[in-house]
Amino acid sequence: MPTSLRPRRTGVRTAALAALTLAGTTLIGATAVAAPGDNGDVKIHKVGTPFNDQRNEPKVCDFYLAAFNFDDLPDGQDIEWSIETQPLEANGATLGDTLDLEPDGTGHTLPLALPDGQYKLTWNIVGGQGAGKHKVFQVDCPTDEPTGTPTPTGTSTPPGGPGGPGGGPGGPGGGPGGPHGGVPAGGGGV
């Protein structure tokens, strides 16, 4: 009894095609179901900028970090952040901490300060996936040097000493309490 291989090959091909289709659907679905919270952005704001302002200010003096557009999670989430000199210096200024986000996916730090220079901010979602995100910014604070010619701030003494002519307060003969100092030359005595 002769057997044909044709129906068996068609069945194997159909099964392989179905398996590949199912695997492709699974892979596409996996990217859409990333870990919750692995998104959002952290901005650099100069002190005084409203917390809800989503623009980035890459040149600041005193500043704070503001987080936006992270997933709404019932318990919120945390972001670990660090700031290092750019390029990295062995003894360069650094800052770092954890930012607790609100359940709506926002948050901000207290005001921060660093010496003038260029810095790199790196942040990671605690428990998140990936190497984190980063942003480069510059700290540039105005100097406190005076502008123009400095003016003296003391008081000047009029010619003839304090109190006007005669050297004493109020003029010749002194003022209240009589003359000050010794008897003038040639003034005689009693």
Considering only CA atoms, give the Rg of the chain.
40
Residue 61 lies in a domain: yes
Query: What pLDDT, on a 0 to 100 scale, did the predictor assign at position 47?
Result: 97
Residue written as token pair 């100092």: 181
Residue 93 lies in a domain: yes
CA–CA separation, 97 and 5 (whole Å): 68
Residue 98 lies in a domain: yes
Residue 126 lies in a domain: yes
Query: What pLDDT, on a 0 to 100 scale, did the predictor assign at position 146?
Result: 55
Query: What pLDDT, on a 0 to 100 scale, did the predictor assign at position 31?
Result: 43
Q: Which amino acid is at 165?
A: P
Residue 123: CB atoms within 10 Å? 22
Residue 73 lies in a domain: yes
Element (H, E) at 45: strand 41-46
Residue 174 lies in a domain: no
Residue 80 lies in a domain: yes
Q: Name the percent of the chain lying above pLDDT 90.
A: 38
Where residue 56 sits, what CATH number does that domain have? Answer: 2.60.40.2950
What proportions of the chain, in percent to the nearest 5, are helix, strand and coil? 15, 25, 60
Q: What's the whole-number mean pLDDT along residues 49-71?
A: 93
Nearest to 137 by CA among 23, 45, 32: 45
Query: What pLDDT, on a 0 to 100 scale, did the predictor assign at position 132?
Result: 86
pLDDT in tens, 75-108: 778 999 999 999 988 888 999 999 999 988 899 9
Nearest to 112 by CA among 141, 132, 149: 141
Is pLDDT at 144 greater than 80 in this prediction?
Answer: no
Residue 19 lies in a domain: no
Query: What pLDDT, on a 0 to 100 scale, did the predictor assign at position 189?
Result: 54
Query: What pLDDT, on a 0 to 100 scale, did the predictor assign at position 66?
Result: 96
Q: Which amino acid is at 188?
A: G
Tell me the residue range of the domain where 77 lies: 41-139
Domain count along the chain: 1
